[in-house]
Amino acid sequence: MLGLALDQMSQGETFNLMDRMVSSGSLQKPLFSVFLSDSDAEESEITFGDYKREHMASPLFWVPVSKPTGYWQVQINDITLNNNKLNLCANCQVAVDTGTSQLAGPSEIIEELSRKLDVKSDCSNYHVLPDLGFVIGESILNLKPVDYVDRSDAGDSCEVGLMSLDVPPPNGPLFIFGDPFLRKFYTVYDRENMKVGFATAKHRGVAADESLLVSATQVKRHKISSTEYSLGFLDVN
């Protein structure tokens, strides 16, 4: 574990790796970036001082760090299913954390999401489950069922892979975006300007999925019909 959080979480004022590297002039730019592989065909990588466009399948967009908690933390404007906003989490926060292997969120919201997703324990509706998205800045960052459902190797047992985590105000309600999110999205952490960048990750041998990241301003506010839900249609025009 290599501590790359902000200085509020450091053991002392001078005990922060990024701050030391920036202040010593060791970096080309005051940032680092993270790419997590999704197969044995590629390797995970952290880059200090820049980000690599070859790991990006979409343009990078930036959002500011929202609170001085020490986490690389940004605001969630809403949660979506198939790009339809749920008005479920208007003032939530999310910590993007390379040291967490799961996705976690406030218990009340996780319970409501689990009810709306209605993942059948026998996996009978697995192939028609919707994209689960998070509105961050002007974009929706989507996760596929393979990312948020724990499915057995035999494919006959499924459950929502979202963990409850209750962080009280003022730091919460707080989500944690761990490895499942970081495999889908390439992330950049700008220490000087206190902002986080997101782009769809580009994986070797995998076609870029444009549905993972869409503009929130282009999404129509309409009710999902039964046909749209069952076929997984996206309305982004």
Q: How many CB atoms lie within 10 A of CB 114?
A: 14
Closest Cα partner for 173 from 111, 90, 80?
90
In the predicted structure, residue 48 carries a pLDDT above the cut 70: yes
pLDDT confidence bin for 79, thresholds 50/70/90 = very high
What is the mean predicted confidence (pLDDT) over 62-66?
Answer: 95
Tell me the whole-structure pTM to 2 decimals.
0.84
Q: What pLDDT was estimated at residue 57?
A: 93
Whether 231 is in a domain gets the answer: no
pLDDT tens digits for 195-206?
999 999 999 878
**Residue 125 vs residue 215, higher pLDDT:** 125
Q: What pLDDT was estimated at residue 144?
A: 94
**Residue 47 vs residue 2, higher pLDDT:** 47
Q: Per mean pLDDT, which range of 74-83, 189-198, 220-229 is the poorest?
A: 220-229
In the predicted structure, residue 230 carries a pLDDT above the cut 70: no
Q: What pLDDT was estimated at residue 95?
A: 93
CATH number at residue 148: 2.40.70.10
- Domain count across the chain: 1
Whether 173 is in a domain gets the answer: yes
Q: What pLDDT was estimated at residue 50?
A: 94
The answer to whether 114 touches 159, Cβ cutoff 8 Å, is no
In the predicted structure, residue 21 carries a pLDDT above the cut 50: yes
Q: What pLDDT was estimated at residue 99?
A: 79
Whether 201 is in a domain gets the answer: yes
Whether 228 is in a domain gets the answer: no
d(CA 155, CA 158): 8
Q: What pLDDT was estimated at residue 218?
A: 62
- Counting other chains too, the contacts that 22-26 makes at CB distance below 8 Å and 24 or more residues apart are 22/191, 22/192
pLDDT confidence bin for 18, thresholds 50/70/90 = confident
**Residue 199 vs residue 218, higher pLDDT:** 199
Domain extent at residue 127: 7-219
Whether 226 is in a domain gets the answer: no
pLDDT tens digits for 123-173?
999 999 999 999 999 999 999 999 999 999 998 999 999 999 898 877 778
Whether 142 is in a domain gets the answer: yes
Whether 144 is in a domain gets the answer: yes
Q: What is the mean pLDDT of the chain?
A: 84
